[in-house]
Chains A and B, each alone.
Chain A
Amino acid sequence: EPEVTQTPSHQVTQMGQEVILRCVPISNHLYFYWYRQILGQKVEFLVSFYNNEISEKSEIFDDQFSVERPDGSNFTLKIRSTKLEDSAMYFCASSGSHTEAFFGQGTRLTVV
């Protein structure tokens, strides 16, 4: 069964450092998403990406965040200058046209 793959599974970074979270969506999918889940809290929508541009973003997705699909297979989330409150599980997801979303297993980001 096809799956969304995220790397790394766990990333520890120092406050103020840049971090890039990587995702390989399902190959024929058209829509890509990032979500995050702070420990013990709800899954929160960050951004959706379609046709090489952001289609929607939440208030959380400020100028510190950016997304990119650099090579037609990877989908990345960059946080420019990490803060302690960015510590969370980050989930990548992808979907086809009018189909359900498939989520990856997540990257646990710990900012120290």
Chain B
Amino acid sequence: DAKTTQPNSMESNEEEPVHLPCNHSTISGTDYIHWYRQLPSQGPEYVIHGLTSNVNNRMASLAIAEDRKSSTLILHRATLRDAAVYYCILTQYNFNKFYFGSGTKLNVKP
């Protein structure tokens, strides 16, 4: 499975945008880019996913580089509830399994 690289931790102020980067230089043409997050003491939660084009949903936006070797998860206005570990994961088209890395621990300051 293709590997992703994320910063160990990031910090943001409440109500400000957050850009969480992910590098995936060995991505293959059939790999989807998924983002999940894990709030303290909870199971992972789906955030967003995409293949080539940028994606928006009610939780976040996903910006995918033209060469697909990197992507950025954008939280438009961070809240305290967004403090979590964010995982960038590559999966094959059938979404058969997810390999979680260490993720980025996001701390949101009031």
List the interface of chain A (C-beta within 8 A of B).
Answer: 4, 31, 33, 35, 42-45, 48, 50, 55-56, 91, 93, 95, 98-106
CB of A45 within 8 A of CB of B97, answer yes
- Quick one: which of B87, B96, B100 contacts A44, CB cutoff 8 A? B100
Q: Which residues of B contact A99 (CB under 8 A)?
A: 95
CB of B102 within 8 A of CB of A42, answer yes
Q: Which residues of A contact B99 (CB under 8 A)?
A: 45
Contacts A4-B43, A100-B34, A104-B43 known; list 4 others, CB within 8 Å.
A35-B98, A95-B95, A103-B43, A103-B45
Q: Which residues of A contact B102 (CB under 8 A)?
A: 42
The 8 closest A-B pairs by CB, nearest first: A103-B43, A43-B100, A100-B46, A91-B43, A103-B44, A45-B97, A106-B43, A48-B97
What is the CA–CA distance of A22 and B38 in the complex, to the nearest angstrom?
A: 21
CB of B96 within 8 A of CB of A48, answer yes
List residues of B (59-103) whose CB comes within 8 Å of A's CBs.
87, 93-102
A-B contact pairs, 10 of them (CB 8 A): A31-B95, A43-B100, A48-B96, A55-B96, A93-B44, A100-B46, A101-B98, A103-B44, A105-B43, A106-B42
What is the CA–CA distance of A102 and B96 in the complex, to the nearest angstrom?
A: 13
What is the CA–CA distance of A41 and B69 in the complex, to the nearest angstrom?
A: 26
B105, CB-defined interface residue at 8 Å = no
Given A95-B95, A100-B34, residue A42 in contact with residue B49 (CB < 8 A)? no
